């Protein structure tokens, strides 16, 4: 899911992560493998946010999905894997 700038800001307020800018050279490679998403890097690795069911208050929610983890070598490298849903849910906005 490609997030709006407001959704990215809300996500970053709830996660200890950095959004990878659209113009970053790695984005085309990630898009070929995983599709058109907003990508986030944190201490655990590479993540995206996928829409999930809204809660009872009508908030738009997103599930954080991990796409890769840092390995333990020096320098650390990112090891990509099949998307793995996490237990982290972020509020992207309020429903209409």
Give the model confidence (pLDDT) of 3-35 as tens digits: 999 999 999 999 999 999 999 999 999 999 999
> Residue 54: what pLDDT?
66
> Residue 59: what pLDDT?
83
pTM score of the predicted model: 0.89
Q: Dihedral of the CA atoms 69, 13, 23, 59 (nearest 10)?
A: 100
Tens of pLDDT, residues 71-90: 987 778 999 999 999 999 99
> Residue 75: what pLDDT?
72
pLDDT mean over 46-53: 93
Q: How far apart are CA 86 and CA 91, in angstroms?
A: 15
Six-digit token string for 8 = 């990215």
Q: Within 13 A of 82's CA, how many CA atoms are on the CB side?
A: 0
Number of H helices, E strands in the chain: 2, 5
Identify the DSSP state of 23.
T
């Amino acid at each position: 899911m490609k997030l709006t700038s407001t959704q990215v800001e809300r996500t970053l307020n709830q996660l200890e992560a950095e959004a990878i800018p659209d113009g970053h050279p790695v984005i085309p490679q990630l898009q070929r493998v995983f599709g058109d998403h907003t990508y986030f890097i944190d201490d655990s690795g590479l993540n995206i946010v996928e829409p999930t069911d809204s809660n009872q208050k009508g908030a738009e929610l997103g599930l954080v999905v991990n796409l890769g983890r840092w390995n333990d070598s020096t320098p650390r490298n990112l090891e990509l894997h099949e998307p793995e849903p996490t237990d982290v849910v972020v509020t992207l906005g309020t429903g209409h």
